[in-house]
Every structure is written in structure tokens, then in C-alpha cells.
Amino acid sequence: MNFASDNVSPFCPEILEALTKDASVNAPAYGGDALSQQLDAAFSELFDKEVAVIPVATGTAANCISLSALVSPYGGVVCHHEAHINEDESTGVAFFTGGAKLLPMDGPAAKLEADDLDGFVSGLVDRGVHSVSPECVAITQATELGAVYTVDDVKAIGEVCRKHDLRLFMDGARFANAMAHLKCHPADVTWKAGVDAISFGATKNGAMAVDAIVLFDTSLKPRIEQARKRSGHLHSKHRYLATQLLAYIKDDVWLKNAGHANAAAQALADVLIKQGASLTHAAEGNELFVKMSPDLARKLRDAGLMFHGWPSLGADVYRFVAAWNADIVQITKLNTTLG
């Protein structure tokens, strides 16, 4: 069983069916097709607000292109040290924004805390052209350490951003996992809390390759579309991005997949705890971070489990990620096979 990441999973049957469906007809390019034209309406219904949707093929592109419209080349983006944009996206943010700087801070389970954020921003001294002043805050939902911001958490951060006149961005590579955990309306943790744009992840959760930039501030659309084109992220056969996204939100496939992944993570946590491992913090999405002995790690690897060491949390810490296709029955059976 491969728990190295959720991106080791293939696409789910609903997405494959969608890709296969209009395989014989021609369609206008660059988003002029009928499926692409449905995206804004479909996501506006999902979020209960008029939104603009700009799909791209990767999560890094969704994050960096979004941020390019929320921060100037001279500004800063406050994020968590562990944020994907800070740790795993090369110098993408600086590239797409023309030089904007990431201003990382700490917080438990890779979460920014509203009070800390307020303190951090209030404590910065603006030296005009000499300094980098924050213009935007970026949070990740669910976080890089598998935790989920509550509705109140996000609201509190939104209020701090409003107080300091900062834009608010959400990296939602695993937004579905957060929603499956919170069981709230997607509006509650996004635009109602003051989020300007979200990268709405699908690739990790059953798509082939598509993440959507969803703009709650639709005035950002022309600029985002130009940044997408300039960076080579506008697909000519745009319908194949659209068809994945439409299949992903139809009949709540996104929430079903994420609910399954979260349940698999819980089942795996139970098994690992019985084997003597302990969670570094509560697992709320589809990622588990566990402390365990080298003996247990070896035993699990010998049993065919794949997972990564996570040295930033300690030499004895490992990450397990469950996906939409994780086999919960097999996970539960580990209790007997591992002894």
C-alpha cells in the first residue's frame, strides 16, 4: 500500500468517464467550448456566490498565479513556514509575482493563529521603499500537517486581514478533505470569512491534472487570465480541464472521495496506534504524522507499506497520506497481518 502521497493515485472512474465522453467531437479551443462555459455557473452554485473560475493543470500553478494578482512585486505574503508555497514550490511565488517575498511565521500543526498573525503584522516596521510590507496572507486548508482550520479559525484570520488591509488567499490543494471534515458550507470557510481567492484542488483527490483558481473577487479575472496565458498555463484543449472539474463537483464526487480518504487515514491511524505509534497531532484530513520506532517503521516497510520520513518534525516522525482509492478493508486487515 502506497501512502507516500495522494498524488500517487490514478484518476477516479467518474473523471475517466468524463474524459472519455466527448472523445470524438471537435470543440472550440481556449475555453470557448460548452463545458468550459459552464464552470463559472457550476462553482458559483457550489460557493453560493458569483465566482470566476480559471482552471490550470497543477496546484503550484493555481497557487502562484493566484498570488500574482494579490501582491505587488514589492510586497510580502505572510504564510506558515511549512506552507507548500514556502517549502515545495521552488521560487514560484517570486517568479509569478515579479519578486514578492514570502514572510513565513510559526504556528501549531502548520496553522497560522489569528492572534499571532495580528502580532506579527502589527510588529512589522514599515520603512517605505526599503522594507517589504505584507500585502497578503496565505493559509492552507487542510494544512500541510493534516490539520483543518475551523470556521471560527478562518473567520478570525479574515478579521485580522481586514484590520490590516491584507488580501487573503487559501491554498486548497486538499480543500475537499477539509470540507469533508468540517461538514460546513464551502462559503463559510472562504468568501464569508474574507478569502479573496482559493486554489481549489482536484488533482490529489481523483482528477488527472486540474486545480481551479476560484476568484471570489471577480475583478481579478482579467489579470489572472493574462498571467495564466503568459506562463503557458492556458490549455488549448481547455475542455479537458473543464470536464474534469465538472465531473469532480457533480454529485459531490469531490466530497465522497475526500470523505473516503479521511476515513482511510483514521483507519490507518487506529492500526498504527495499536502497533505502538503515536500521532504528533490530531489527524483531521487525509494526512497522518506519526512518531514511531525504527523497528516499527522497518516492520511496516517489510509489509509493503510506502511512506515518507518527515525529519522537520523529528528523526522518528513519518508521514502517511491516504487518498480517494485507499483500500480501507486492507488497512483494517493490517491489524492481523502485522500481528
Partner 1 sequence: MNFSSDNVTPICPEILAAIAAESDASALPYGADDKSQMLDAAFSGLFGRDVSVVPVATGTAANVIGLSGLVSPFGGVVCHHHAHINVTESTGVAFYGGGAKLLGIDGPSAKIEADALDAYLNNHVSNGMHSVDPECVAITQSTEFGTVYSVDEIQAIGSVCQKHDMRLFMDGARFANAVAALDCHPSEITWKAGFDVLSFGATKNGALAVDAIILFDPELRRKTEQNRKRGGHLFSKHRYLAAQLLAYLEGDLWLRNARHANAAAQALAKSLSTMGAKPAFVPEGNELFIHMEDRLAAMLRDAGIVFRPWPSLGPDAYRFVCAWNSPIEMIKALPDTIGG
Give Cα separations from 281 to 88, 109, 139, 269 (angstroms).
Answer: 22, 7, 18, 11
Does 196 bind partner 1 (CB under 8 A)? Our answer is: no
Does 208 bind partner 1 (CB under 8 A)? Our answer is: yes
Q: How far apart are CA 133 and CA 62, in angstroms?
A: 23
Q: Let me know: does 174 contact 181? Beta carbons within 8 Å.
A: no
Q: Is the CA virtual torsion 25, 26, 30, 31 positive or negative?
A: negative
Single residue of 162, 163, 230, 274 touching partner 1 by CB under 8 A: 230
Does 8 bind partner 1 (CB under 8 A)? Our answer is: yes
Near partner 1 in 304-333, by CB under 8 A:
323, 325
Q: How far apart are CA 291 and CA 280, in angstroms?
A: 6
Place of cell 498524488: 7
Single residue of 123, 128, 232, 339 touching partner 1 by CB under 8 A: 232
Single residue of 38, 72, 81, 95 touching partner 1 by CB under 8 A: 95
Tell me whether residue 91 or residue 219 sits nearer to partner 1 (CB atom).
91
Single residue of 89, 144, 171, 287 touching partner 1 by CB under 8 A: 89
From the centroid of its chain, how far is CA 28? Answer: 30
C-beta pairs of 35-43 under 8 Å, 24+ apart in sequence: 35/239, 35/242, 35/243, 35/246, 36/238, 36/239, 36/241, 36/242, 38/242, 38/246, 39/212, 39/242, 39/245, 39/246, 42/245, 42/246, 42/249, 43/200, 43/212, 43/214, 43/249
Task: Using the rule CB under 8 A, give the single segment among 122-130, 161-169, 186-194, 231-239 that binds partner 1.
Answer: 231-239
Tell me whether residue 190 or residue 203 sits nearer to partner 1 (CB atom).
203
Task: Using the rule CB under 8 A, give the single segment among 3-11, 72-80, 110-118, 268-276 that binds partner 1.
Answer: 3-11
Does 65 bind partner 1 (CB under 8 A)? Our answer is: yes
Single residue of 38, 44, 49, 58 touching partner 1 by CB under 8 A: 58
Q: How far apart are CA 152 and CA 32, in angstroms?
A: 39
CB of 3 to partner 1, least distance (A): 10
CB of 131 to partner 1, least distance (A): 25
Does 66 bind partner 1 (CB under 8 A)? Our answer is: no
Does 123 bind partner 1 (CB under 8 A)? Our answer is: no
Single residue of 18, 47, 53, 60 touching partner 1 by CB under 8 A: 60
Single residue of 80, 164, 235, 319 touching partner 1 by CB under 8 A: 235
- Which residues contact residue 287 at a Cβ distance below 8 angstroms, ignoring those fewer than 6 apart? 142, 145, 146, 174, 265, 319, 320, 321, 322
Tell me which amino acid residue 13 is.
Answer: P
Task: Using the rule CB under 8 A, give the single segment among 25-33, 116-124, 188-196, 293-301 that binds partner 1.
Answer: 25-33
| Phi, psi values for residue 171, rounded to 5° | -80, 105
Does 13 bind partner 1 (CB under 8 A)? Our answer is: yes
Nearest alpha-carbon partner for 259 in 288, 284, 278: 284
Single residue of 162, 237, 250, 274 touching partner 1 by CB under 8 A: 237
Residues in touch with partner 1 (CB under 8 A): 2, 4-5, 7-11, 13, 16, 19-20, 22-30, 56-65, 89-92, 95-96, 203-204, 208-209, 226, 229-237, 240, 323, 325
